[in-house]
Amino acid sequence: MSDATAQVRKRLTEIGGRTAQDLGLGRIVGQILVHLYLTPNEESLEDIAKELELSKAAISIAARQLESLGLLRRSWKSGDRKTYYRTADDIATALHQGLLIMVRNKMSLLATELQAAESELNTADVGAEEEFILGRVKRAKKLRDTAMAVLENPLVKLLTRMK
Amino acid sequence: MSDATAQVRKRLTEIGGRTAQDLGLGRIVGQILVHLYLTPNEESLEDIAKELELSKAAISIAARQLESLGLLRRSWKSGDRKTYYRTADDIATALHQGLLIMVRNKMSLLATELQAAESELNTADVGAEEEFILGRVKRAKKLRDTAMAVLENPLVKLLTRMK
DNA sequence: TTTTGCGTTAACAGTTTTGTAAACGCTCAT
DNA sequence: ATGAGCGTTTACAAAACTGTTAACGCAAAA
């Protein structure tokens, strides 16, 4: 592998790290994923640790997290006690679905809270301030509903169809 | 304000804090925004600090940040040296646009990096490994493109039309 | 059974983040 | 001019996070 190529890979790996961190998944997770995505053959924990200059322990934890997200696959070789990792074959769809699920989870949590708030406000004795807050909560609910609708319809259909 | 109502407000405020933190804006930012969103009249720095049980300094910083994002408005009263804050009138659209801009920024950063990677790989002497990586980069680009397309078309039009 | 080599777990240290208290500077009223 | 009241800045303390080292457990080889 040429020197320039190695540098390109390193750079993309860093970007993966930053992105993953933005999503709250931790830097290492993103680094591993991109690194393996740009690697033809599978690699052991130690391989990855050496390439990314991180401890084997850190790799172990992050790799398992990636596996549970369906983004990495484990494999073994006969007469070799190491575990090897490679990116999942359907990594693109897995990523998209994962992101959608994350967003949807946050959204539905918000939905529940807003609904609960509205109910409680309705049972309380309704003064002027309650009236105001209730109005605001209702506006927020409406906002969330349309956002949700947008998210559900065209996005899912377009994105999950990709290969 | 009834006790139950106060509790509802407190709860929603907490949720705002968590959400803002997820977006990388800091907890306080979200708390202030929701608190003011649920408050009929405008409040001074000290008012907010007392309600949220935080220092005036912290509120000062976060409130200015919110103002620069177009989510809060400052105002003054004659014969009173305090600054008052209230939520912007178009807070819904400001929020949506802000989120879209954030996402778009991340996306376009990714776009530049992927493009640069592809160029560099093309100029390098192309061995088997370069070929492989180049293929992966191209796949990633395609992914990003469709995601971007989805993000641009229906979302913007639907969301920014909202009041 | 013992040994070796692996992934994992747990305690810890370094770093970063977050919010506070106190000092500061500016504007307005006196 | 002087003092009071405000928002802001700065220095710092506490808390949270991240990744490492070292110990552990377990399976396969000797």
Instruction: Read off the pLDDT of residues A90-149 as tens digits, 9 standing for 90 and up.
Output: 999 899 889 988 999 999 999 999 999 999 999 877 889 999 999 999 999 998 998 888
Report pLDDT digits (tens) over B84-119: 999 999 999 899 889 989 999 999 999 999 999 999
Whether CB of B44 is under 7 Å from strand D: the answer is: yes
With a CB cutoff of 8 Å and minimum separation 6, the contacts of A156 are: A100
Contact A31, A52 (CB under 8 A): yes
Residues 53-82 of B with CB under 7 A from strand C: 53-55, 57-58, 79, 81
| Residues in chain B closer than 8 A to A130 (CB atoms) | 1-2, 5
**How far, in Å, CA of A107 to CA of A150, rounded?**
12
Q: Does A99 touch chain B (CB under 8 A)?
A: no
**How far, in Å, CA of A17 to CA of B141, rounded?**
18
Of B114, B125, B158, the CB nearest to A146: B158
Report pLDDT digits (tens) over B121-148: 998 778 999 999 999 999 999 989 988 8
In the DSSP assignment, the letter for residue A140 is H
Bridge partner list, B84: B44, B75
**How far, in Å, CA of B93 to CA of B4, rounded?**
30
Question: What's the gap in Å between the CA of B144 and the closest CA on chain A?
Answer: 10
**How far, in Å, CA of A6 to CA of B14, rounded?**
46
A127 and B1: CB-CB below 8 Å?
yes
Region label for A72, one of left (φ > 0), alpha (ψ between -120 and 50) or beta (otherwise): beta
Cα-atom radius of gyration of chain A, to the nearest Å? 22
